[in-house]
Structure 1
Amino acid sequence: MLAGSGSLGDSNPSITLGVMAVQGAFLEHQVSLQKAAEQLSQRPSLTVREVRHADDVTSDLQGLIIPGGESTTMSLFLRCNNMEEPLRDWIGQENHVTWGTCAGMILLSKQMEHQKEGGQSSLGMTDTLVSRNYFGRQVDSFEADLPITHPRLLNDPSTKKEYFRGVFIRAPAVLEVTDPAVEVLASLRLSEKVAPVVVAFRQGRILSTAFHPELTEDLRWHRYFLEMVLGEMKV
């Protein structure tokens, strides 16, 4: 869908988003974004670009999704293609909204547990300690119901469910939050013997989820991301 001629204050504003297209379900994210936009009252017109090179990280992007994949491979790709600093600069700018899913959560965190030998660089943007593969290997992937309490995530026209069916694929988890600015949005407790761990949070203009909303038909998290972008646009 091509962006329309909307501007700030229009009933149908234009949004330009980027989805990092290195690994993971980036096409599914694009589809979910378009569907979610149709559910918003503003009905924004979206342009969604695939981001593969440093030159793709442009100032006119208003939002960026860093999807799942293998975090070490993605980190190496960013380093070899000189994308780390452009991404850090872009994320740090006002009015830019970022969402990391699974590997994206790992790459955005300032601290990582269970790094591969030799270490792994990150973008270092969120005040969290994240454990890579906290829930196990690929064969340990699973789905679980996550309680939803945030009012903006409960306000969905397609469902009245007070939980979200999270898809966890070799997923990370947040072991520690190191700044009160981090707002926990979802936690998961697999058994009574194990303490709950954070699997979704927001810190300012950054959203992180350990699971994969793009692999479900539930659009709440994509709606929330778009609302964050629109909020920064002051629409």
Structure 2
Amino acid sequence: MKIGVLALQGAVSEHIRLLTNSGAEAIEIKRADQLAEVDGLILPGGESTAMRRLIDKYQLFKPLREFGESGKPILGTCAGLILMAKTLSGEQDGHLGFIDMVVERNAFGRQRDSFEATLDVKGVAEKLTAVFIRAPLVKEVGPDVDILSEYNGEIVAVKQGSFLACSFHPELTDDARLHQAFIKMVAERSVLEAH
């Protein structure tokens, strides 16, 4: 089992470290053809507008959509959550549109407003340390979206089918439980595909 981390911009090495420390084989994804090598994918935190420009520049949009439509698991953190949204608040459409949710960018404020919080993430972990940096917020979800965590009554982690997304940066801590839950999702999907 191999998990890729989209390596165009953002917290790539941090995700690789947590995946590797959790026993998964992890590779950086920089080209569309590399997607065929992986069983799951992480869309890391970073700057979503810059990431989208790079996705378009390197002609990754369609291959990423096809990867998601294939049912292979995808985890999006912070900017990755924005990329996975069906709708962005104040804009007509989202980016990849994998999760039926409306997302507001930078909802927790500017860089100087960054903070850490301890969250319970349903089915993943209790007391998970979450790092919020210019974090987005999930404003609404569709009926098929499971809300996994909230912070002060606001949605910060969701799951829909094989897609998992959070507003925060789990990769900026040493707590690998969210990554381990994602590895488990990928492993379960791989077993199903093998049969």
Q: TM-score range by the shorter chain?
A: over 0.9
Q: Deviations over 1:140-175 (max 9, x none)?
A: 11111113443xx24xxxxxxx31111001100100
Taking the TM superposition and a 5 Å limit, the aligned residue runs for 1:45-60 are 46-58=24-36, 60=37
Partner residue of 2:148?
185
Q: Secondary structure at the match of 1:167?
A: strand
> What CA RMSD, in Å, does the superposition of the two structures yield over aligned residues?
1.6
The structure whose residues are more often helix, as a share, is 2
Partner residue of 1:109?
85
Report if aligned partners of 1:75, 1:120 keep a CA contact under 8 Å in 2. no
The Cα of 1:55 is off from its aligned counterpart by: 2.4
Report if aligned partners of 1:72, 1:120 keep a CA contact under 8 Å in 2. no
Q: CA 1:227 to 1:132, structure 2 compared with 1: closer, same or farther past 3 Å?
A: same
Q: Which residue among 158, 163, 171 is the counterpart of 2:127?
A: 163
Report if aligned partners of 1:100, 1:207 keep a CA contact under 8 Å in 2. yes
Larger Rg belongs to: 1
Q: CA 1:121 to 1:177, structure 2 compared with 1: closer, same or farther past 3 Å?
A: closer
Q: Percent identity?
A: 41
- Aligned equivalents of 2:4 and 2:103: distance in 1? 24
- Aligned equivalents of 2:191 and 2:146: distance in 1? 21
Q: Secondary structure at the match of 2:22?
A: helix
Letter in 1 for 2:53: L
Report if aligned partners of 2:119, 2:128 keep a CA contact under 8 Å in 1. yes
Report if aligned partners of 2:107, 2:136 keep a CA contact under 8 Å in 1. yes
Partner residue of 1:34?
20
Q: Does 1:63 align with 2:63?
A: no
Report if aligned partners of 2:9, 2:51 keep a CA contact under 8 Å in 1. yes
- Aligned equivalents of 1:76 and 1:101: distance in 2? 18
Partner residue of 1:198?
155
Partner residue of 2:10?
24
- Aligned equivalents of 1:212 and 1:69: distance in 2? 10
Runs of 4+ in 1 over 3 A off after TM superposition: none
Partner residue of 1:159?
none
Q: Secondary structure at the match of 1:234?
A: helix
Partner residue of 1:132?
105
TM-score for the superposition, normalised by structure 1: 0.77
Partner residue of 1:93?
70
Letter in 2 for 1:143: E
- Aligned equivalents of 1:121 and 1:165: distance in 2? 28
Q: Deviations over 1:48-67 (max 9, x none)?
A: 22111222222x31000000
Report if aligned partners of 1:99, 1:225 keep a CA contact under 8 Å in 2. yes
Q: Secondary structure at the match of 2:164?
A: strand
Q: Secondary structure at the match of 2:174?
A: coil
Report if aligned partners of 2:149, 2:156 keep a CA contact under 8 Å in 1. yes
Q: Deviations over 1:14-36 (max 9, x none)?
A: x1111011122111111101122
- Aligned equivalents of 1:53 and 1:131: distance in 2? 29
Q: CA 1:120 to 1:50, structure 2 compared with 1: closer, same or farther past 3 Å?
A: farther
The Cα of 1:114 is off from its aligned counterpart by: 4.6
Q: Secondary structure at the match of 2:140?
A: strand
Can you give the 5+ residue segments of structure 2 that lack an aligned partner in the other structure? Answer: none
